[in-house]
Amino acid sequence: MPSHPDLPADRISLPDGTLHYTEAGRGATILLVHGSLCDYRYWRWQIPAMAETCRVIAPSLHGCWPDTGVHPQAGYAIEAHTDNLVHLVQAMGIAEGVHIVGHSRGAQVALAFARSAPELCRSLTLADPGFRFDDEPESVPFYTRAVQQLQSGQVDDALKDFIDTVNGEDTWRKMVGWFKDMVRDNAMTLLSQIREANLPVAPAEAAGIRCPLLLVGGSQSPAKYGSRQDRLQLLAPQARRVRIALSAHGMNLANPRAFNRAVLEFVQSGAEPVTRP
């Protein structure tokens, strides 16, 4: 992969603290929302590529690096993250709205954004959403053991357990240094995240989405992520769908060229995206 420039850091004051973000490019605005154990650095292969034709804003959700604070914390929650992103878009004066892209846990934040501020959401892209629908039973979070390991100081064991579960056996060992550093920086956010691990989405909430909707999955992602997309596609008939070849849950890192192209085609033309090699 090509080297990427340092991501410029900026910040904005919130009613309950500070939101850090990076921004690049000009044009229609794409808002990138990261998932668990990540921050705006997760989008390092998306920001430069998408900024060639669009304005790209990538925030670190409140409670994530570079301002992690002590976890657990009340501000690290889907509703709070959603309110913060609405505040960010309004404060930046983006009256025409944004094309919001959410990955994993960030997909639940993105969906909540689209429902709470539909006038600010021009399109919605959900990449491997993992949330529970409220007509499904609660389950034990897959990262329960990881949280226990964190509480006992076994940080790398906890992170290996989490990353290998969502992306395949031995993924953590093979990951590059910058990714491991980012995940370690955000490790303790799991202590907050587990408090709303079964936070559901109402089917009617998904069915109420009226903006263009793109569902993105990794071709090798765990089956539970595909099942979320199957249900969403039934609930929202306008949804387009694309699978990113040669990738699992971390599709935007494993195959960034295909991921970027699928999102940009959707944002810029509205044409139905196709799987890219």
Mean pLDDT of the chain: 94
Is residue 249 within 8 A of residue 221, CB to CB? The reply is yes
How many whole angstroms separate alpha carbon 97 and alpha carbon 99? 7
* Predicted confidence (pLDDT) at residue 1 exceeds the cutoff of 80: no
SS3 state at 155? helix
Q: Would you give the DSSP letter of residue 68?
A: -
How many Cβ atoms from other residues are within 10 Å of residue 74's Cβ? 10
Q: How confident is the model at residue 6 (pLDDT cuts 50, 70, 90)?
A: confident
* Predicted confidence (pLDDT) at residue 270 exceeds the cutoff of 80: no
Domains contained in the chain, CATH given: 10-139+199-269 (3.40.50.1820)
Closest by alpha carbon to 128, among 7, 259, 4, 30? 259
- Reported in sequence order, the residue ranges of the chain that DSSP labels E, i.e. its strands, are 10-14, 17-24, 29-33, 55-60, 98-103, 121-127, 132-133, 200-201, 213-218, 240-244
How many whole angstroms separate alpha carbon 110 and alpha carbon 263? 15
Burial 143-165 (b: 16+ CB within 10 A, else e): bebbbebbeeeeeeebbbbbbeb
Residue 19's beta-bridge partner residues?
Answer: 12
φ, ψ of residue 100 to 5 degrees: the values are: -95, 135
- Which has more confidence, 151 or 272? 151
Q: How confident is the model at residue 271 (pLDDT cuts 50, 70, 90)?
A: very low
Q: How confident is the model at residue 276 (pLDDT cuts 50, 70, 90)?
A: very low
Express each pLDDT in 143-195 by its tens digit. 999 999 999 999 999 999 999 999 999 999 999 999 999 999 999 999 999 99
pTM over 0.85: yes
Q: How confident is the model at residue 3 (pLDDT cuts 50, 70, 90)?
A: very low
Q: Which pLDDT belongs to residue 212?
A: 96
Express each pLDDT in 24-52 by its tens digit. 999 999 999 999 999 999 999 999 999 99
Query: Rounded to the nearest 10 degrees, what angle do helices 144-151 and 155-167 cross at?
Result: 170
- Reported in sequence order, the residue ranges of 80-135 that DSSP labels E, i.e. its strands, are 98-103, 121-127, 132-133
Q: Which pLDDT belongs to residue 274?
A: 36
Q: Which pLDDT belongs to residue 15?
A: 84
How many Cβ atoms from other residues are within 10 Å of residue 274's Cβ? 12
Mean pLDDT along residues 250-275:
84
Express each pLDDT in 213-227 by its tens digit. 999 999 999 999 999
Q: Which pLDDT belongs to residue 272?
A: 39
Tokens of 194: 């587990």
Q: Provide the percentage of residues in the chain whose pLDDT is more than 90.
A: 92
